[in-house]
Amino acid sequence: MNKRIILSAFALIAVACAPKQVQTSGPESLLLKDYDPVSVFKLPEHHPSQAKFSAIDMHSHPFEQDEAGIKEWVKTLERNNVEKVIINTYACGDEFERLYDLYTGISDKFEMWCGFDLTTWGTPEFEEKALADLERCWKKGAKGVGELGDKGLGEAYCLRASYGKATPTGHLNDPAFDKLLEKCGEYGMPVNVHIGDPIWMYEPLDEHNDGYMNAGMWAIDLNTPDILDLYELVETFEECLNKHPKTTFIAAHFINVHHDYEFLGQVLDRHSNLYLDNAARHLETCATPRATKKFYEKYQDRIVFGTDNNPGDRMYGLNWRILETEDEHFYANSSYHWPLMGLGLTDEVLQKVYHDNAVKIRESL
């Protein structure tokens, strides 16, 4: 064992024994998880307290479950210049109706989207039951469907969220989904879909993993039987987009291929029924501010704003700071080890991403 290994081993033991102590003894012992740098740059800072243009948050969830919490959320939205929030409930049946009444009873700022009823997946009655439930939700007032999610084994979000089961169903190109997805087009309900996860989660968890801290938390085991990798999943999604040209899809989180803008642009070019939401991917995309800004400029008619995070002034404020300002090299307790960079999007792009594209999607249906 050489000296370096002995030192590292000692450091690990020291950390394990220490109560909650920050290691300051140097690069041989400081763990990446404890790395908490403070920017030294004397640069102007900007902290927009609200969105520059009235915003529609196209990707949120029922984070608040009681009247007081929802009323507080409404005040936060007013302070932040957010005019509407799409609540992806994942839910169907009675649960969707309960959430619908709870949220819309308090404020018209909330628009409720339902999930699919997948409880009878794999049985002969599946299609009929799921279609009946979709009709019920639509009649109740569901304006879209969300969030569906496939991290490699098939759609699992609706089941997981509504029934506590994690058993996945099929990929979105599975014929069993055909009538449901067609019906969404007929009802004018856009479908929000989460495909895969950021690329770091698929890479080996070693010293070369560029997004190690997040990969450690969300790693995807490609040895799982039948699991598809990110690009294979996108292929299944593209088949689904081809099958249902009259249904509008919003791929959450840039389809998780924000590390490969050329490919992402090609996917958008191939499918006019596809939009992207930027929810919860600012930390990832602001690592490459110039390439990201170029992508926003080029596809400014195809990206909508979303948050997908617990609502609060701090959360919204970080969105405004990254999208609107040109602040450089700042930290905000992010789960990555790199500094954040403002994208400084132009007014024209912001207006479309915050607002106009969302209106366009809903009006065109």
Can you give the binding site for Zn ion, defined by CB under 5 A? 147, 308
- Least distance in Å: CB of 309 to Zn ion? 9
In whole angstroms, the minimum distance from the beta carbon of 306 to Zn ion comes to 8
Q: 147 or 150: whose CB is closer to Zn ion?
A: 147
CB of 147 to Zn ion, least distance (A): 5
* Residue whose CB is nearest to Zn ion in the complex, by number: 308
The whole-angstrom separation of Cα 118 and Cα 127 is: 9
Shorter beta-carbon distance to Zn ion: residue 194 or 293: 194
Tell me how far, at minimum, the Cβ of 88 lies from Zn ion, in Å.
6
Distance CA 248, CA 297 (A): 22
Which residue lies nearer to Zn ion by CB, 147 or 324? 147
C-beta of 251: minimal distance to Zn ion in Å? 12
Residue 115 vs 342, nearer CB to Zn ion:
115
Shortest gap between Cβ of 280 and Zn ion (angstroms)?
Answer: 7
Residue placing its CB nearer to Zn ion in the complex, 64 or 308: 308
Nearer to Zn ion (CB atom), residue 57 or residue 308: 308
When the beta carbons of 7 and 280 are compared against Zn ion, the nearer one is 280
Could you tell me the smallest distance in angstroms from the CB atom of residue 308 to Zn ion? 4
> Measured between alpha carbons, how far is 235 from 233 in angstroms, rounded to an integer?
5
